[in-house]
Amino acid sequence: MNKPHVIALAAVGLLLAGCADANRVVLMPDPDGHVGKVEVASKAGSQTLTQPKTVVSAGSITAAPKALNDAEIDKTWGAAIAAQPPRPQTFTLYFISGTADLTAESATELPAIIAVVTARPHARLIIAGHADAVGSDEVNLRISHQRAEKVRDSLMKAGAKPEAVDVSSHGKRNPLVPTADGVSEPRNRRVSVTVQ
Protein backbone atom coordinates (compact mmCIF):
# COMPACT_ATOMS: atom_id res chain seq x y z
CA MET A 1 0.00 0.00 0.00
CA ASN A 2 1.30 3.42 -0.89
CA LYS A 3 -1.15 5.33 1.27
CA PRO A 4 0.33 6.59 4.52
CA HIS A 5 -0.82 4.81 7.63
CA VAL A 6 -1.78 8.12 9.21
CA ILE A 7 -4.89 9.00 7.22
CA ALA A 8 -7.33 6.65 8.99
CA LEU A 9 -5.42 7.04 12.24
CA ALA A 10 -5.56 10.83 12.05
CA ALA A 11 -9.32 10.85 11.50
CA VAL A 12 -9.91 8.65 14.55
CA GLY A 13 -7.13 10.37 16.48
CA LEU A 14 -8.78 13.73 15.97
CA LEU A 15 -11.91 12.45 17.65
CA LEU A 16 -9.97 11.13 20.62
CA ALA A 17 -7.88 14.25 21.04
CA GLY A 18 -10.94 16.23 22.17
CA CYS A 19 -10.97 20.00 22.08
CA ALA A 20 -7.34 20.45 23.14
CA ASP A 21 -5.72 21.08 19.78
CA ALA A 22 -7.92 18.50 18.07
CA ASN A 23 -6.70 19.47 14.62
CA ARG A 24 -3.38 17.67 14.91
CA VAL A 25 -2.23 15.14 12.37
CA VAL A 26 0.60 12.70 13.02
CA LEU A 27 2.32 10.64 10.30
CA MET A 28 2.86 7.03 11.34
CA PRO A 29 4.84 4.38 9.46
CA ASP A 30 3.03 1.35 8.09
CA PRO A 31 3.57 -1.87 10.09
CA ASP A 32 6.18 -2.83 7.47
CA GLY A 33 8.10 0.41 8.16
CA HIS A 34 7.11 2.24 4.96
CA VAL A 35 6.51 5.95 5.45
CA GLY A 36 4.33 7.83 2.99
CA LYS A 37 3.52 11.49 3.22
CA VAL A 38 0.48 13.56 4.06
CA GLU A 39 -0.35 17.18 3.33
CA VAL A 40 -2.25 19.14 5.96
CA ALA A 41 -3.87 22.37 4.78
CA SER A 42 -5.84 25.17 6.39
CA LYS A 43 -6.69 28.77 5.52
CA ALA A 44 -3.31 29.78 6.97
CA GLY A 45 -1.28 27.54 4.63
CA SER A 46 -0.17 23.95 4.25
CA GLN A 47 2.48 21.60 5.56
CA THR A 48 3.63 18.23 4.21
CA LEU A 49 4.70 15.57 6.67
CA THR A 50 7.31 13.13 5.33
CA GLN A 51 9.07 11.97 8.50
CA PRO A 52 7.58 9.26 10.72
CA LYS A 53 6.06 10.23 14.06
CA THR A 54 5.91 13.93 13.24
CA VAL A 55 2.89 16.07 13.99
CA VAL A 56 1.50 19.33 12.69
CA SER A 57 -1.44 21.34 13.95
CA ALA A 58 -3.86 23.04 11.58
CA GLY A 59 -4.03 25.84 14.15
CA SER A 60 -0.31 26.60 13.69
CA ILE A 61 0.19 25.24 10.19
CA THR A 62 3.23 27.43 9.47
CA ALA A 63 5.21 26.00 12.40
CA ALA A 64 7.69 23.24 11.61
CA PRO A 65 6.44 19.69 12.23
CA LYS A 66 7.25 18.43 15.71
CA ALA A 67 8.67 14.97 16.40
CA LEU A 68 6.70 12.88 18.89
CA ASN A 69 7.91 9.97 20.98
CA ASP A 70 6.00 6.72 21.37
CA ALA A 71 4.65 7.69 24.81
CA GLU A 72 3.14 10.91 23.45
CA ILE A 73 1.58 9.07 20.51
CA ASP A 74 0.20 6.36 22.77
CA LYS A 75 -1.29 8.87 25.21
CA THR A 76 -3.24 10.72 22.51
CA TRP A 77 -3.91 8.08 19.86
CA GLY A 78 -3.25 4.75 21.61
CA ALA A 79 -6.92 3.79 21.80
CA ALA A 80 -7.45 4.61 18.10
CA ILE A 81 -4.41 2.60 17.09
CA ALA A 82 -5.59 -0.38 19.15
CA ALA A 83 -9.09 -0.17 17.65
CA GLN A 84 -7.92 -0.50 14.05
CA PRO A 85 -8.87 -3.74 12.33
CA PRO A 86 -6.03 -6.05 11.34
CA ARG A 87 -4.49 -5.40 7.93
CA PRO A 88 -5.67 -7.64 5.09
CA GLN A 89 -3.48 -10.67 4.41
CA THR A 90 -3.20 -12.38 1.03
CA PHE A 91 -2.13 -15.98 0.54
CA THR A 92 -1.45 -17.86 -2.69
CA LEU A 93 -2.07 -21.57 -3.07
CA TYR A 94 -0.85 -23.58 -6.09
CA PHE A 95 -2.42 -26.58 -7.84
CA ILE A 96 -1.40 -29.69 -9.76
CA SER A 97 -1.84 -29.25 -13.50
CA GLY A 98 -5.32 -30.01 -14.80
CA THR A 99 -6.76 -30.61 -11.32
CA ALA A 100 -8.30 -28.87 -8.33
CA ASP A 101 -5.76 -30.62 -6.07
CA LEU A 102 -3.33 -28.48 -4.09
CA THR A 103 0.37 -29.10 -4.53
CA ALA A 104 1.93 -30.79 -1.49
CA GLU A 105 3.62 -27.54 -0.48
CA SER A 106 0.40 -25.52 -0.70
CA ALA A 107 -1.53 -28.15 1.25
CA THR A 108 0.82 -27.46 4.17
CA GLU A 109 0.02 -23.71 3.95
CA LEU A 110 -3.75 -24.14 4.31
CA PRO A 111 -3.60 -24.38 8.15
CA ALA A 112 -1.91 -20.94 8.28
CA ILE A 113 -4.80 -19.44 6.32
CA ILE A 114 -7.32 -21.18 8.57
CA ALA A 115 -5.53 -19.77 11.63
CA VAL A 116 -5.82 -16.21 10.30
CA VAL A 117 -9.49 -16.69 9.37
CA THR A 118 -10.43 -18.16 12.75
CA ALA A 119 -8.49 -15.45 14.63
CA ARG A 120 -10.66 -12.74 13.04
CA PRO A 121 -14.23 -12.92 14.33
CA HIS A 122 -15.63 -11.00 11.34
CA ALA A 123 -13.26 -12.14 8.60
CA ARG A 124 -14.20 -11.38 5.02
CA LEU A 125 -12.62 -13.63 2.36
CA ILE A 126 -11.94 -12.89 -1.28
CA ILE A 127 -11.02 -16.07 -3.13
CA ALA A 128 -9.94 -15.95 -6.79
CA GLY A 129 -9.15 -19.02 -8.88
CA HIS A 130 -6.74 -19.03 -11.82
CA ALA A 131 -5.41 -21.44 -14.44
CA ASP A 132 -2.42 -21.63 -16.75
CA ALA A 133 -2.64 -21.28 -20.54
CA VAL A 134 -2.92 -25.03 -21.27
CA GLY A 135 -6.36 -25.98 -22.60
CA SER A 136 -9.37 -24.09 -23.85
CA ASP A 137 -10.88 -21.01 -22.26
CA GLU A 138 -13.87 -23.08 -21.17
CA VAL A 139 -11.74 -25.76 -19.51
CA ASN A 140 -9.57 -23.20 -17.73
CA LEU A 141 -12.54 -21.22 -16.49
CA ARG A 142 -14.10 -24.41 -15.11
CA ILE A 143 -10.89 -25.63 -13.40
CA SER A 144 -10.13 -22.20 -11.91
CA HIS A 145 -13.67 -22.12 -10.48
CA GLN A 146 -13.29 -25.63 -9.06
CA ARG A 147 -10.02 -24.61 -7.41
CA ALA A 148 -11.58 -21.53 -5.82
CA GLU A 149 -14.59 -23.55 -4.60
CA LYS A 150 -12.36 -26.23 -3.11
CA VAL A 151 -10.44 -23.62 -1.10
CA ARG A 152 -13.72 -21.94 -0.09
CA ASP A 153 -15.14 -25.26 1.12
CA SER A 154 -12.02 -25.96 3.19
CA LEU A 155 -12.18 -22.53 4.81
CA MET A 156 -15.91 -22.81 5.49
CA LYS A 157 -15.38 -26.19 7.18
CA ALA A 158 -12.89 -24.38 9.41
CA GLY A 159 -15.45 -21.74 10.38
CA ALA A 160 -15.59 -19.08 7.66
CA LYS A 161 -19.11 -17.69 7.28
CA PRO A 162 -20.67 -18.28 3.82
CA GLU A 163 -22.00 -14.72 3.63
CA ALA A 164 -18.47 -13.38 4.20
CA VAL A 165 -16.89 -15.26 1.27
CA ASP A 166 -16.62 -13.93 -2.29
CA VAL A 167 -15.48 -16.41 -4.94
CA SER A 168 -14.40 -15.58 -8.48
CA SER A 169 -12.62 -17.43 -11.24
CA HIS A 170 -10.48 -15.99 -13.99
CA GLY A 171 -9.52 -19.01 -16.08
CA LYS A 172 -6.28 -18.21 -17.88
CA ARG A 173 -6.95 -14.44 -17.78
CA ASN A 174 -4.86 -12.42 -15.32
CA PRO A 175 -1.83 -14.73 -15.22
CA LEU A 176 0.80 -14.15 -12.58
CA VAL A 177 3.42 -15.02 -15.21
CA PRO A 178 2.40 -14.08 -18.77
CA THR A 179 2.95 -16.93 -21.22
CA ALA A 180 1.99 -17.92 -24.73
CA ASP A 181 -1.12 -20.03 -25.24
CA GLY A 182 -0.53 -23.69 -24.42
CA VAL A 183 2.38 -23.06 -22.02
CA SER A 184 2.23 -24.85 -18.66
CA GLU A 185 3.22 -22.41 -15.91
CA PRO A 186 2.85 -23.72 -12.33
CA ARG A 187 2.65 -20.23 -10.80
CA ASN A 188 -0.47 -19.47 -12.86
CA ARG A 189 -2.34 -22.50 -11.47
CA ARG A 190 -3.30 -20.76 -8.27
CA VAL A 191 -5.94 -19.47 -5.92
CA SER A 192 -5.40 -16.22 -4.06
CA VAL A 193 -7.09 -15.81 -0.70
CA THR A 194 -7.35 -12.36 0.81
CA VAL A 195 -8.49 -12.26 4.42
CA GLN A 196 -9.89 -8.90 5.47
Q: What per-residue confidence (pLDDT) applies to 15?
A: 37
Question: Domains of the chain: which residue ranges?
Answer: 6-83, 89-195
Query: Which stretches of the chain are assigned E, i.e. beta strand?
Result: 24-27, 38-42, 45-49, 54-57, 66-67, 89-94, 125-129, 165-169, 190-195
Note the pLDDT of residue 8.
39
Q: Which of these, 195, 160, 172, lies nearest to 85 by C-alpha position? A: 195
Q: Is the pTM for the entire model greater than 0.75?
A: no
Task: Identify the pLDDT of residue 67.
Answer: 94
Q: Which residues lie below 8 Å from residue 22, measured CB to CB, with a gap of 6+?
A: 14, 15
Q: What is the pLDDT along the chain (196 residues), one digit of tens a residue?
A: 444 444 334 433 333 333 345 688 899 998 888 999 999 888 888 899 999 999 998 878 888 899 999 999 999 889 988 888 889 999 999 999 999 999 999 999 999 999 999 999 889 999 999 999 999 999 999 999 999 999 999 999 998 899 999 999 999 999 999 999 999 999 999 999 999 9
pLDDT score at 4? 44
Q: What integer pLDDT is reported at residue 22 of this predicted model?
A: 65
How far apart (Å, rounded) are the C-alpha atoms in residues 194 and 125?
A: 6
Q: For domain 89-195, say whether CATH 3.30.1330.60 is its number.
A: yes
Say what the pLDDT of residue 54 is.
94
Strand (E) or helix (H) holding 160: none
